[in-house]
Structures are given as structure tokens and as C-alpha cells.
Amino acid sequence: MLSNSKLAELLALFHDLGKTNPNFQKKLKPQKLNNSYSNHAYLSAYLFFSTILSCPANKAAIVRYLEGWHFDQNLALAIVVALAKHHGDLPDFTPENLGITDDNYVLSKREIDALFNFLRTSPDLPIKEVLKNYLDLDVKPINESKDNSKCQDTFKDNLMFFGSKLSSPLDFFLELQYAFACLLLADKSDAANISETLKESNTFLESFAEIFKIRLSEYLSCLNQDSEINKLRTSIRQEAIKGLNEGLNKEKRVFELTAPTGSGKTLMMLSLASEIIKTTGPKRIIYSLPFLSITEQVEAEVLKIYKGYEEYIQRIDSKSENRRFSELQNELDADASEEKIKEASILELKEKSFSYPLIITTFVRLFETFLGNENAELLKLPNFSNTVFLIDEIQALPPRLYGFFVAYLDRFCSKFNSFAIISTATQPNYKIPSNAKDALHFFKDYVEPWSLLKTKYFNSPLFNRYELRIQKAPVSLEQVKESILKCNSSVLVILNTIDDTKDLYKLLRGAIPKDEVLLLNTHFTPRHRKLKIFIAKRRLRQGKRIILVSTQLIEAGVDIDFPVVFRDFSTVANIVQSAGRCNRNGKKSRGVVHVFLLQKNGKNRCELIYRDDPDLLRFTKQSFCKDLYEEQELLSVQKKFFDKINTQLCFARHVQHSPNITFNFIEDIKNCMFQKLGKFQIVNKQSFGDEIQLYIPKNNLDDNFERLLELRDDLLNLISNKEDNAVLIAKKKAIDLHLKQMADNIIQIRVLQNQLPPFLGSANPYGNIYKLAPDLYSFDTGVELDNTVNII
């Protein structure tokens, strides 16, 4: 097993017993059976269940094997479910207050009936010897216990979960989810005959641990230390490392790093990870960020530091490419040898399971795995143990969940030998509110993250780079335009909706030369977004005027420096992030950030974005007590804002659209509602419009979309011809790779309900991806459609 979890080891043992089904063994041979019962998952579950009921000594032996687990009805149910469902997803357990019905039963009654039919006619299964050797269990022969009507009736109709009886529901949830994930990973690696390869990843980890600190130290020593800002960054980094070591000496595992924008957090976080590894031994590093654009930037910086050691590092997100697989795909097209197919399978599983020493990924991949229930999602979880999590820009999480996720992470790290650095330029409040009695009991051992830095660096003159002016009277777009034109410098304008950016862009285009204004929003392809930011930076370097009109996509992680920023009213966190693009490098004596309240048709535009959470706007208005601030004064404003979130909003509650779910995370975890929790999405999709993706062809010769359809048809042909699973995996990976190569030209939009537009360049979609007709897109204005929902 790829785990040190005794529960996972027990699951693996009984899982293997299910494979004693002779029909399962025949299924693995070329001459496959068609109708015989060959399922091993439900058989494994029932063998465990009948084993503990067949003899009191068996239960005692299992308790001894589990070393400290309290064995009761809840744990028995958990083991049964994990075994039965290991080829699917973890389901919701049946809450005790609802009672059992056919609709909410935790197992499939159809599968149980098929199992019992098989047992009535099956020969004895050779399980007694295996269990005697491993667990010293006195198992009755299968032909004596298989017709036990009480056992079968209970298995089929009376498996009930009593969450109220758990002494530590969070530990129960974490241990079961983790053990289930370990079983999944071990089963998949065994099936692909690559278990040894994944075990070798530990050696890979140790090799990288030796390289990691040396290369980072060499890189840091080459940085220019002549400038005042770099001297200050070094001082901040050294103090953070000192604070880390103090925390490690006190056996802390989760650390909080609040540092000003521009203080060099990427290098600081890598340095902190290096220090943890030096003190506690080799660890995987998972560097997680909220947005794809930032993962690309961090990857570029990390690869610059570790040039020549790229094999240890993998960015994993919806647009990332695996360097080796790109090469291998070309080789497979020429020669689909067994050796190459196996290598493709290894690369596929390594990426799905995060089996690299240094992973750069998104919040979606990280936090949705923590609460995940799906088979494919949970393959990553075993490699979350023995890990250093570097979590940057944590304020991008849903505000009601700051404290919940940090407390959850704290317990996970304690149980699975991991550490976490939580970084932000703002300062969320991670306390559990005193009035949240259930939460205080649920996270009974939680203490707030260990702080690595004092706030004195926010008072440095080098980080007092702008003043923020708040205009409380509402203004129109025409008035915003006039204010911008009065500035004699370059200007960054950040508005809340795509519609507003397009309207302001049209107003400005009518008043100034075309090359002095750029439009940026999510109706442009990622390729064109990068190019627009490049053009803006180049004009800024050249001292040429540029007005960049953008949505909030430019707020976090974009290293761009404007002397003047205009920002439509938003939350404190968003306003501070926007202000971080003003005089970022401190080259001007003082930048200016204008915050205004944009109105259209008598309505505040910010209220459209925050219509589901108006409290955040109310807290922001209450936190800004005056009309003029210096940058260094904003820390107290942020503290007031985040304290209001902490004390006045319901802790660990979240309302989600599409699918429409209301989460009470503490109650849902207590009741082991795995399927419900697995539907949680970090990015809360809008509740209006149908979401589709559009591929924007580069030119009239671009046939990438047609090639994608060909690859899909190839896969369908392979499936119909019942090709080997490894061949199917390689073809699926080829499609995935092709999609990632297309990703820089794919955008996501919303269209009005039931009005799929007749604008397609191809009538044949790939899933939810459509090809856009070329004349409906331009570099200047992006997608131009009449029936899109242009909100963000």
C-alpha cells in the first residue's frame, strides 16, 4: 500500500479477497465472460461484513489490527462502503434523523441482489487461509456463512450511520476519506502494473529535497542587493524564516505570512518550504494559487530557479502541458509499442495523483480535493500527506470560508504530517467566532496559524506608494471618462462587469487615439489577454500613454505598474488588490487610486456582482471611515473588514449556484455527506444563463477544432472495437493534450437561457465547446454577441 494508514491497509486486504471470485479472474483473461457475476467490490464488502459477524474473536482481531480505532457500527459501515464503492465515488451516508429508504440507502440494492444470487450458487472461496495469515481471524467457510439470513438482511436493509455518536467527527471523516483515496491509488497502480514506479517517487522526492535548497540559495545569492527594495525584501525573508523556526520548535504546522504587495512572496514562500524540509525531512511541495494566470507566472519563476531540473516540477491545471507526454504522443503516433503505452499510463497516473516533488496548481484542484468524493479527484489525496502546502492569495477563497478552511487544513496537517504556509497581502481573520459553539467543539484542538511577520513592514516608506481617494457620490460612465481624460498619465481602470468595460472603451475610443486605449476582459482569449498586458507594459516602459480598461481579472498576480488607478466600488479585499497595481515598484513619489461608485439606470453596478452577498459591500462602506488614505493606513481598514466577516457572517456556511446547494460544512462533515460535499465549487458559478465555451480560431487555416473532433471519433472507434484499456488511456490523454494546446484560444461565456446562438463556425460541438465564426471576434473588442450575459 502507498500509505501508513492502518485503515487503508485493512481496506486493501479485504479488497484483494474480493478478487478470489473465480469469475473476476476469468474476466482478466482475453476470453472474457459476458454474464457471470464478476464484481469484486461488493463481494469484498460483504466478506468483511460477514467476517465480523461470524465470530466475536474476529472483531477483536480487527480492533487489534487497527491499533486504537474505536470499532463500532459507524466504522463497520465506513469500511463496507469504502470497499463496495471503490470503483465509484464515496456516497452520502444515511443521516440517522432521516431513516432508511430505498432512495437514500448507502449501497445499491440491485448490486446486493446480484451478489447474493452469486453466493447462493458459488463454490467455496479461498479466503480463510488469507485472513488467518494476516489477521489471525477464525473465519467460517463461505458455504457456512453465506446464507446467514440475519447477516444478509442487515447488509441489504439496515446499514445506518449514527454521526451523533462520533467522538471526533472531523477525524473520522478525514481518516475514511484518506484511506479510501489510498485504496483507489493502490488499486489503479496495481491494475496498470506500475506500483513500483509510484513507490519510486519517494526516492525522487529525496533527490529533489537535496537539490531544492542548494539551487534556491544559489539563485538568491545572485540577486541584486544594491537597491533599497531588494534589501528590504531580504530582511523580510530572513525575519519570516526566523519566525518559522520559532514556530517549528513549538510544533506548529500552519503558518500565516502577511506581507505587503511587492515584497517578494514567491521567493519567500520557497525559502520557507526549504527551511521546513531542512528541519523535518523530505516533503512534497504543492504551491497553490487562485488563478491560472498566476500559476503560469509562478511556474516560469520556479523553472528559472531550477533550470536543468524540470523533471521534478509539474504545473497541473486546465491549461498545463506535460513536457514528456507531448514528446511521447508523437512517438506513440509513429509506434504504439507496449513500452510506450506503459510510459503514457505512468505519466497519466502521476499527474492525476500529484506524484511529483513540486506541484504548481490552482485553488480548485487543492480545496475541491480536500472535500472531494469522486474517484478521480481523490487520487491526489494520498500525496497531500507529507507535504508542504504553499497557499498564496488566500483572500480569493469565499469570505465565509476563510476560518473554516484554515482550521480544516490545520487538522489535516496534524494528522498526515504536513505543513502549510498561508500567504496574503491582506489580512483575513482566521479565528473561530466565540458565538460559533458547534465550530469551536468541532475544531476543538484548533489554534490560529503561527504568524511569521510583524506588521511593521507595512509602515515602511517603501511600501507607502499611493494614496487612495474615495468618491462616495455616484457617477456615470461619461463622468468616469471625463475624469480619466483629465489625467496626463497612463491609467488603469477596473470595472465590475464586462458590459461596463466595453461601454467605457467605446467612449474612450471616440476621444483619444486608438493605440492609447486597450480593453481587457474574459471575452478575449487567454492568448490575447497576455498580449494586451504585454503591450500595456511596453508602453509604460517607453513612457507612452496607455489607458487599460479591465475587469477584476487584472487584480491579483499581474505584475503591472500604473501611476493612476480608477476602481469601481467593490469589497475592501478587491480594492486593495486593485491598488496593488498602482506605483507597484515605488518609482513615482506617490501614485493615486480613485475609488468611485458607478451607476447605470439609477442602480449601483457593484450591487449586481454582489447581489448574493450584499453584506460584503456593507462591511466595506463601514470599514472606510474617511475619504483619503495612504497605503500604510489600509492595514487597519482590512482588519476591520475581515473582523466583520468573521463575527457577523455565519461560519462555514456557503450558498452555491449551479448546482443549487446550501452547505453547512460542519453538519455535512458530521453526517459524512461525501457526495454533497463533493459538489462544492471554489468558483461559484452565476445563477443565470447557460455556460458554454467557444474556440476562437487563430485564422481561416486553423483546423485545431476539426482535429479535436477527429481525435474524439478515433477514441469512439477504439471503444467500439474493445481495444486494450492502456490504448484508450493514451488516446484520452492525446485528446487532453490537444485541448490544452487549444486552451489559449478558448473562452467561456454565458448565453441567455435556451438561446444557443447561431454564431457557430462548426455545427458539431465537442461536449460544451463550440467553434466561433471568425467574423464575430476581434483583437480590439473580443467576442461581440447580442445574447451573452456580460457580467464578469
How remote is the C-alpha of 158 from its chain's centroid?
36
pLDDT in tens, 306-338: 999 999 999 998 888 777 777 777 776 666 677
CB count within 10 Å of CB 169 equals: 20
Q: How far is CA 650 from CA 253, 401, 654, 724, in A?
A: 26, 9, 9, 51
206, 38 Cβ separation under 8 angstroms: no
Res 197: pLDDT = 67
User: What's the rounded Cα separation, in Å, for the pair 225 and 85?
Assistant: 57
Res 447: pLDDT = 95
- Upper half-sphere CA count for residue 400 (Cβ side, 13 Å): 22
User: What's the rounded Cα separation, in Å, for the pair 343 and 35?
Assistant: 33
User: What's the rounded Cα separation, in Å, for the pair 42 and 24?
Assistant: 12
Three-state SS string over 203-259 comes to HHHHHHHHHHHHHHHHHHHCCCCCCHHHHHHHHHHHHHHHHHHHHHHCCCCEEEEEC
Res 692: pLDDT = 83
- pLDDT at residue 709 is higher than 90: yes
Nearest Cα to Cα of residue 299 among 222, 223, 362, 213: 362
Res 2: pLDDT = 46
- pLDDT at residue 407 is higher than 80: yes
Confidence of residue 357 (pLDDT cuts 50, 70, 90): very high
pLDDT in tens, 22-73: 766 566 555 554 567 778 889 889 988 988 887 777 888 888 888 878 888 9
User: What's the rounded Cα separation, in Å, for the pair 468 and 384?
Assistant: 41
Task: Name, of 188-192, 557-561, 785-789, the range with top average pLDDT.
Answer: 557-561
pLDDT in tens, 547-593: 999 999 887 667 899 999 999 999 999 999 999 999 988 888 899 99
Q: What is the mean pLDDT of the chain?
A: 87
Res 12: pLDDT = 87
- pLDDT at residue 541 is higher than 90: yes
To which CATH superfamily is domain 208-322+354-456 assigned? P-loop containing nucleotide triphosphate hydrolases (3.40.50.300)
User: What's the rounded Cα separation, in Å, for the pair 364 and 744?
Assistant: 19
- pLDDT at residue 370 is higher than 70: yes
Nearest Cα to Cα of residue 749 among 759, 739, 762: 759
User: What's the rounded Cα separation, in Å, for the pair 291 and 304?
Assistant: 20
% residues pLDDT > 70 (the chain): 90
Q: Is residue 535 exposed (0-12), middle (13-18) or buried (19+ Cβ within 10 Å)?
A: middle
Q: What share of the chain is helix, strand, coil (3-state, %, to 5)?
A: 50, 15, 35
- pLDDT at residue 146 is higher than 50: no
Q: Which three cell numbers stand for residue 214?
A: 542548494
Which carries the bigger pLDDT value, residue 593 or residue 738? Answer: 593
Encoded amino acid at 748, one letter: Q
Region 461-467: mean pLDDT is: 94
Could you give phi then psi for residue 709, rounded to 5 degrees? -65, -35
468, 579 Cβ separation under 8 angstroms: yes
User: What's the rounded Cα separation, in Å, for the pair 592 and 582?
Assistant: 7
- pLDDT at residue 756 is higher than 60: no
User: What class, spelled out in words, does domain 6-196 have in CATH?
Assistant: mainly alpha
Task: Name, of 140-144, 601-605, 759-763, the range with top average pLDDT.
Answer: 601-605
Q: Which three cell numbers stand for residue 35?
A: 454474464
* 223-233 exposure pattern, b = at least 16 Cβ within 10 A, e = fewer: eeeeeebeebb
Res 8: pLDDT = 92
Q: How far is CA 789 from CA 528, 688, 689, in A?
A: 21, 8, 7
User: What class, spelled out in words, does domain 464-648 have in CATH?
Assistant: alpha beta
User: What's the rounded Cα separation, in Å, for the pair 517 and 576?
Assistant: 24
Which carries the bigger pLDDT value, residue 395 or residue 30? Answer: 395
Which residues of the chain does CATH 3.40.50.300 include? 208-322+354-456, 464-648
pLDDT in tens, 415-453: 999 999 999 888 899 999 999 999 999 999 999 999 999
User: What's the rounded Cα separation, in Å, for the pair 593 and 630?
Assistant: 10
The DSSP line for 14-31 is HHHHHTT-HHHHHHTSSS
pLDDT in tens, 278-304: 999 999 999 999 988 789 889 999 999
Which residues of the chain does CATH 1.10.3210 include? 6-196
Angle between helical axes of 338-352 and 725-742 (0-180°, round to 10): 60
Nearest Cα to Cα of residue 257 among 456, 452, 472: 452
CA-based max dimension of the chain: 91
pLDDT in tens, 482-509: 999 999 899 999 999 999 999 999 999 9
Res 556: pLDDT = 67
Res 63: pLDDT = 85
